[in-house]
A and B are shown apart, each in its own frame.
Chain A
């Protein structure tokens, strides 16, 4: 709990002392949204022990649902965000029900292949989705009355609104992971046979993990639309699944803070390393291989094991 208060304090005051420019604030917002995505992803990987390579579908459906409602239906912002999250939820339940017939890496391969269906649907349905050009022409984003704040071109307002939503989402995920359901998820990960012998329907537990992961991935996608005010088709391409996997593993699976750290490191590499090094993917890929081989617990996992007290304070 101390850690959460600390996080709230740091994030709440960040615009005051951070090198305050709209650019950096936008970057910080993006890092936090991707951190939420990576945390949602980690509900499956770190807690339920399911390796998914199909999260591009969940985040992408979330992003496009929100984007389409805003741009084509001129719907108000809040219901559109919620619809994005629900879109992610529905997608993940459908996809999960299909792929959970298999396990392990075989399942991973299926999530990847099935998630590409969504990419091709967006690609083919150009009149509605904008195809390869992405979905643009979003109206000016404002919160509904009584607040009525304008988000477009106001990085600080946008930052605080997005941070508040993410903070609530993280609290919800934390609560779910500490609930009996979260414990059963970890039991299924640790020893599926035994969990089944204890009377748990392991497939249903994993489907629940898919649903939680899908809902918050969809929310992350919806927020991404708000942050970028645009939906690039890359948001639903399977590269997104790879990106979130790298972020979750960089930061450390099974931790609450790790996915945010991982998202920060990845976006730092993408935006700053690439300024000096044209071929930055060599370093991302290389660092990824090294982390998997030598630091499988990731950055936060490593810190937690070296300084056990940090886990108590931060998680």
Chain B
């Protein structure tokens, strides 16, 4: 898994967890739906660039529906954070089968546009593929924008305030319910975008969300849940670890990241950049 893409997906997961205290098991499904929305757009219009817009938009919309239709019912109930895990897990079982019903079991081929395929230049003995550079550019553009959104705008202020003390923000007369919808949709849209960007690298298939979800868990645990910098650092660290061990000793790659997580947990339970006392519950 590409480190940049891991950052994008994990960021959505981390923002939603930070604000709502919900571990969104449907996040991997959103990633998969993004790839399908992109595939559908390319089938209908033939434009990859349009797919980059429609995929996050469509998945963001689905995110709004899920938040309004399902998650809204569990807020304020006893054990809301458990229930959040459970309902999103139910959705994560259900939606891939719905996708199989609509688009069929086999995966869909998804080609990158001609301008982004092939190698750009040689770096030592390795080809630098144009598409990889494109992913790097997209992430490098999006991250400052997201950082700005979360740290320098009113919406970001409310999101961050809600992360540390939700009740207090409500008492100040701020419509937290709407912020939650927006945040959930934002998280979903990020996953959707990551899905469509990954699509040319892997096959678009109903199962593609499963593994990425667990890898995102690891990224957020290593980096520190709810921390922007933590997700970026964790994403790069885990992405690179996967790539390097994959190159050296490929069967070992999957285990190493789990062991890295266990190590971080033992030495520094809050994660590399997590704040003390945050996300203890």
Contacts and interface: CB of A to CB of B under 8 A. Distances in A.
Interface string B66-100: 00001001100100011111110111111111101
Contacts, number: 113
A102 B280 CA distance: 6
A279 B23 contact: no
Given A106-B225, A113-B221, A285-B94, A293 B87 contact: yes
B171 interface: no
Interface string A69-108: 0000000000000000000000000000010011111101
Interface string A274-298: 0000011110111011001100100
Interface in B116-151: none
A106 B280 contact: yes
A103 B278 CA distance: 11
A208 B86 CA distance: 24
B21 interface: yes
A238 B100 CA distance: 21
A121 B73 contact: no
B252 to A, nearest CB: 7
Contacts of A282: 94, 97-98, 101
Contacts of A117: 255, 258-259, 262
Interface string B159-187: 00000000000000000000000000000
- Determine which residue in A108, A109, A117 has the highest number of CB atoms from chain B within 10 A of its CB, and name it: A109
- Determine which residue in B17, B84, B89, B266 has the highest number of CB atoms from chain A within 10 A of its CB, and name it: B89
Given A103-B281, A105-B82, A293 B89 contact: no
A293 B73 contact: yes
B251 interface: yes
B189 interface: no
A281 B254 contact: no
Contacts of B90: 285-286, 288-289, 292
B281 A113 contact: no
Interface of A: 51, 98, 101-106, 108-110, 112-114, 116-117, 120-121, 123-124, 238, 242, 245, 249, 279-282, 284-286, 288-289, 292-293, 296
Sorted nearest first, the 4 A-B pairs with minimum C-beta distance are A285-B94, A285-B93, A289-B90, A288-B90
Interface of B: 17, 21-23, 70, 73-74, 77, 81-87, 89-98, 100-101, 214, 217-218, 221, 225, 251-252, 254-255, 258-259, 261-262, 265-266, 269, 279-281
30 contacts: A51-B85, A98-B266, A104-B82, A105-B82, A105-B84, A106-B23, A109-B217, A109-B221, A110-B265, A112-B217, A113-B218, A113-B221, A117-B255, A120-B254, A123-B251, A123-B254, A124-B251, A242-B93, A245-B89, A281-B93, A285-B91, A285-B92, A285-B95, A286-B90, A288-B86, A288-B89, A289-B90, A292-B86, A293-B74, A296-B83
